[in-house]
Every structure is written in structure tokens, then in C-alpha cells.
Amino acid sequence: MSTQDFSAERIAGAVDSVVQQGLSLALSTSDLCFLVALHLRSTTSQLSSFAEHQLEDVFGHVRDLTTAGDEPLAKSATRAIARLREQRMLSRVDGLGVVRAPEYSLTRLATAIIENLLEEEILTRESLSVLTRSLAIALRDVKSNCEEAESDGDWAEMVIAPLRVSTSDLVRGIERRQRGLDQQQEAFQETIRGLLDADWFGSIDRCQELLDTTSLTLRELNELLLRDSQQLLASLQGILERALSASQEDAASIAHQLIDKLDRIVAWGSARQSAWSEYFQYVHRFLRDVVRLDPSRALTQRLREQLAGTAGRSFALAVAGGESIVLLREAVARPDAPPVSRPRKPRDTPPKQGPVFDADAALREQVRERVEAGAQSLAEVTTDLAAELEGGDQFACAGRVAQSVAEVGKPRPARPRPWVKVGDDLLIEDWNLSCEDQTTGVAS
Amino acid sequence: MRKKHLSTGAMLVGQALALLYLDPATAGLGGMVDKGQLLAQLDGVVGTDALIRTFNPKRRRYDERVAQETVRKKVAMELRRLAGLGFVELAADEKIRLRPALLRFAEPVRGLSDPAEALAKLVASGEIELTEKTRLDPDEMRAEDDE
């Protein structure tokens, strides 16, 4: 299964779970105030849980500070406690039911919300130093445990658990503070804008100071991250290699995840440094080129009038007209033409002599064969040679047969000459070619 | 190399961008604005009618929706032209990074001297050319349409 499929499956599972349970979260401002007050009371008075009267007491205090309602305090407090229990912000911890008055404590969800509201955890040089040092120590211990671990139980107890809990917590701590720093940066940009808006020329020194301080902080953080991350990554790499060689897939997977997180932290530092560098340069240039040179903001007013077309003549900036880029064609190597030369062989071939077919001679020969074979009449010879032909060809052939018969034999026409049918469409005047007469004729 | 001057539309967009560059709000954001801010600036300073007439010079009667769409297209086109000339940088998500070169559009009113005198000096030095046009040249528009 690919990482994307796995991730999609997890998302689907989580969403399904939320839908199935019908989870929702709705907290009003007064509820949040109540929660914050409870959290502060618990930290100042070292309370791990609250009795009902303590909750009412805190609620009353909050109600006095926010809105004073007409409703009796006990009733309002009861409703507020019920709402917070519905929203999983308060949980009953005594488990005694009706036996004793209940005690409540803030849930993990409530604590997280309150911490997010109250605590501005921002990455500073000091906090990052402490966190990275703690992380380095934790990883060093885990790495040495890797060398000693032999059984699966050892790996689970001495490597996987510390990696999953303490080390991951420390990395999460850095990430949380990063988000704080990002928020601080946004607020810082707002501050610069507010300062310039409020006092255009008078804010230069203050802006300059803010820029320098923030720039120094970011540079220090980035240097620290780059330096310490190498050491942390080396330790994690060692743990990963040891886990892989011992075929401890869980440990290897957690080490992988931590390496990814550390890489992200380093990339974050680098990106912030780069973005800040651009911002720093821009604001510096703005202060120098615009604010210092235009203390009364007259330029803005004049430019506005110019744009509105109410002042001066219209003009256009002259720019260099760039020539269009000349695109050269692809060079194609043409083949060399062959040199001019005399042909070695004669191009004309002499005509060859061959046999010539003489149709009249062939017909005459066929007639001779028939006459010598003893044909009795012209009609017999013509029938032999021309009966198969049709139309004009038959007629022409019959004529040539008659001519040939007259040449090779001695025909004797009968008196009167009979007309004999040859083929279907032809009638000829027959001649007698009887052998007796012929022999006589020949002999004579 | 041939010399030419920016179109009326490009001058309008350039001056509006210069005005945004001078805004403390933009400075606070590191010089990043979006097209919406630019159009709002043009609309606020030049006025909707003048803006529509400037970018729709051939149309005597126009449909408001179509004319506004034309303005948006023409402004985007001039913006690309100015980006090509290095006045701004087009970033992702329709963001525009303003560059100090935009102050060239404020050159005639930048000094303490009389703007007319400053204008004359700039014309003499060949940095700007005086124009009589208050709207886009129809030929220019045709050429742009062909593009």
C-alpha cells in the first residue's frame, strides 16, 4: 500500500469516527472565560480537581467580571458546568455517583484549548537551546540503549518508548514554538504597518529597531538549528541503522519519522530566514527611499492627483523597444552533389533481330496442308480455317483462304457454281478440288 | 535600439501600482499586493466611469458587465507588460510583488520643484514623452486585440 493510500485510509477512518460519534464543539466566550479561570485557579492553588462549591466560586468571580445576570448564581453555575461537561471540557473524577458530592477536573482537550489561548510559546534562542540540548541527551541515551538491547522487550522498553514519548514530545515542542514564531512574525508585520500609518516619519527609528532585533533573532535561530540539527540527525541515523540491522521495524519507523520532522524543522528555519531577508531588505529600502525622502507624504498626494488626471499634462514613459528575438533555423547538412563525368557505358542499346510473324504466309501454309491432305472443295478448307471466326474476321479470312487455294491448288468451278454455307452467317461460291482432276491438273 | 513609449493603459496601471508601493500597508506586507487591491486603487482614484471609458475607447454604449470584464482583462494585460519590463514581479496566487522601479511613474512629482518644470526636464532628457491622449489609442487597442 502506498503512503498516499495509507494516509487517505487514515483520514477516512478518523472522519468516520467523528461522524459516528456525532462530535461537535461549541464554546461561548463566557464558557472560555470560565475555563481560563479554572485553569489559572488550579495552577495557582495547586488543585488537581474542583469540588462543586469551588466551581461555583470561580464561576461567580468570572460572572462578576463579565456580565452580571439576573439569574441566581447557583442556577447559572449549574448550567455552565453542564455545558462544559457536554462539550467534554470537564469530567467527573471521583466516580462515587450519589455517595458523595462530585469532583471535576479539566480534560486534556480543555487544557490544550486554554494553553493555546494563554501561552504564547515562541521559539527563542534560549528555548531552542534548551530543547535541542534535551533532545540531544535523550537521543544519545536511546542510541546507547540500542547497543545494549537484545530482546524485543528490551527494544520496546529502552528504545521505542523513549523515542515515542520523550523525543517526540521535544520535537513537537520545537514545532509548536515555530508556529508561535510565525504568528509573531505576522503580528510584527502588522506592527510595522501600524507604526507607519500612525506616525509616518517618526516611526523610522522604531521600525529600524524592530527590524534589527527580529533579524538578529532569526539569524541566531537559524544558525542554532543548522548546527544542532546535524548532531541530532547523526544520532537518529545511528539509531535507525542499529534498528534496521536488528530487524526492529517499529523503532526504525519512529526514527524515520523523527528524521523527517527534524528535516522539516531545518527547512522551516531556512525558509523563514530567506523570507525574512527579503522582507528586511524591502522595508529598509522603503524607509530609506520613500519615508526619509518624503517626510510629509506629499509624494503620495501628488501622485494621486497625477493619476486622477487633475494635475499636469499626461505623459508616457519612454522605454527601449526590444527587437524581436531572431530564431535561427536548425542547420541541416545537405549531401554533396556527385561530380559531373562522362558515362562509362553507352546509354543506347542496339536493336536485336528476331523472328517476324507473317499471318498471310501462315494461312497459306495451312491451306497448302489441307489441299495436300486431300481436301475436296473450297468450302471444306474454308470451313476448317474460318468457321470458328465471327463477323468481319470470318469474311476476311474466307477471302484470304480463297486466294491461297487459288495459288496452291487448281480449283475448277462447277457449272453452275453452287453456293455453300460456311459457318452460320457466311455463304461462299464453291470450287471443286477433286484429287483425280487435281492430279491430272498437276500432272498437266 | 528602437525607442517607444508605454500605452495609456500601462501608464494608468503603473501609477496605481506606484501609489500602492507608497502605501504603508503594502510596506508592512513586504510589497505584496493582489490584483483586487490594484483594481480597487484604480477604481478609487480614477473612478469607475473614467476607467471603463479609458479601457473601452471604441464603445459609445456598453454593457456594464462586459465593460468591467474588459477593464479587468486589459489591466491584467498591462500588468504582464509591466512585469516584462521589470516594474513588478508576478508571484503565485495572483500576487504582485512591487519593485522600487515603480517610482519612475512618480518621477515628475517626486522632486520639490514645480511638476511642469520637472516634466519639461524629463522630456528634454528623453525619459518621458508628452501625450495628448486620455484614452487608449484605437490602433493600439487593435494591436492588443491581435495579440
For A407-423, the pLDDT digits (tens) are 888 887 777 778 888 87
A97 is a domain residue: yes
DSSP chain B: -EEEE--HHHHHHHHHHHHHHT-HHHHHTTSEEEHHHHHHHHHHHH-HHHHHHHH-TT-SS--HHHHHHHHHHHHHHHHHHHHHTTSEEE-STTEEEE-GGGGGGGGGGTSSS-HHHHHHHHHHTTSEEE---SS--HHHHHHHHH-
Q: Are residues A174 and A284 located together in one domain of the fold?
A: yes
Q: Which residues does chain B have within 8 Å of residue A323's beta carbon, measured at their own beta carbons?
A: 1-2
Q: Are residues A150 and A226 located together in one domain of the fold?
A: yes
B70 is a domain residue: yes
Q: Are residues A158 and A211 located together in one domain of the fold?
A: yes
DSSP element (H, E) containing A283: helix A249-286
Q: Are residues A137 and A66 located together in one domain of the fold?
A: no
Q: What does the pLDDT read at residue A223?
A: 76
- Given an 8 Å threshold on Cβ–Cβ distance, is B27 in contact with A321? no
CATH of the domain at A45: 1.10.10.10
Stretch A17-41: mean pLDDT: 85
Select from A55, A89, A118 the last residue of a domain: A118
Domain extent at residue B17: 8-146
Q: What does the pLDDT read at residue B60?
A: 67
Q: What does the pLDDT read at residue A303?
A: 87
Q: For A208-262, how does the pLDDT look when each residue is reduced to its tens digit (9 = 90+)? A: 888 888 777 777 777 777 788 888 888 889 888 988 888 888 888 888 888 888 8
Q: What does the pLDDT read at residue B18?
A: 93
Cα–Cα distance list, A441 to A11, A409, A411, A436, B30 (Å)? 127, 9, 9, 8, 138
Q: What does the pLDDT read at residue A442?
A: 33
Using pLDDT thresholds of 50, 70 and 90, give the confidence band for residue B75. very high
Using pLDDT thresholds of 50, 70 and 90, give the confidence band for residue B33. very high
Do strands A315-321 and A412-413 pair parallel, antiparallel, or not at all (unpaired)? unpaired
Number of domains in chain B: 1
- Contact indicator for A149, A159 with CB cutoff of 8 Å: yes
Q: For A128-155, how does the pLDDT look when each residue is reduced to its tens digit (9 = 90+)? A: 777 788 888 888 888 888 888 888 888 8
B1 is a domain residue: no
pLDDT at position A158 over 50:
yes
ipTM of the complex: 0.81
CATH of the domain at B94: 1.10.10.2260
Domain extent at residue A389: 360-443
Q: Which residues does chain B have within 8 Å of residue A303's beta carbon, measured at their own beta carbons?
A: 15, 18-19, 22, 105-106, 109
Number of domains in chain A: 3
A381 is a domain residue: yes
Q: Are residues A111 and A237 located together in one domain of the fold?
A: no
Q: What does the pLDDT read at residue A68?
A: 60
Q: What does the pLDDT read at residue B137?
A: 45
Q: Is the dihedral of CA A431, A437, A438, A443 positive or negative?
A: negative
Q: Are residues A287 and A138 located together in one domain of the fold?
A: yes
Please confirm whether the linkage preceding A416 is cis (ω < 30° from 0).
yes
Q: Are residues A110 and A152 located together in one domain of the fold?
A: no
Lowest mean pLDDT among A63-77, A379-393, B6-20, B105-119: A63-77
CATH of the domain at A233: 1.20.58.590
Q: Are residues A148 and A45 located together in one domain of the fold?
A: no
Q: Which residues does chain A have within 8 Å of residue B6's beta carbon, measured at their own beta carbons?
A: 316-317, 319
State the DSSP code for A344: S
Q: Is B99 touching A (CB cutoff 8 A)?
A: no
Indicate which of B29, B81, B137 best probes the interface with A, i.e. most A CBs within 10 Å of its own CB. Answer: B29
DSSP reduced 3-state for A369: helix
Using pLDDT thresholds of 50, 70 and 90, give the confidence band for residue B1. low
A280 is a domain residue: yes
Q: Is A198 touching B (CB cutoff 8 A)?
A: no
Highest mean pLDDT of the ranges A59-63, A114-118, A396-400: A396-400
B2 is a domain residue: no
Indicate which of A303, A310, A324, A325 best probes the interface with B, i.e. most B CBs within 10 Å of its own CB. Answer: A303
Q: What does the pLDDT read at residue A78?
A: 87
Continuous H helices in A333-428: 359-372, 378-386, 391-408
Q: Are residues A112 and A162 located together in one domain of the fold?
A: no
Q: Are residues A114 and A129 located together in one domain of the fold?
A: no
Largest CA distance in chain B: 44
Q: Is B100 touching A (CB cutoff 8 A)?
A: yes
DSSP element (H, E) containing A269: helix A249-286
By Cβ distance, the residue of B2, B5, B108 closest to A312 is B108
pLDDT at position B59 over 70:
no
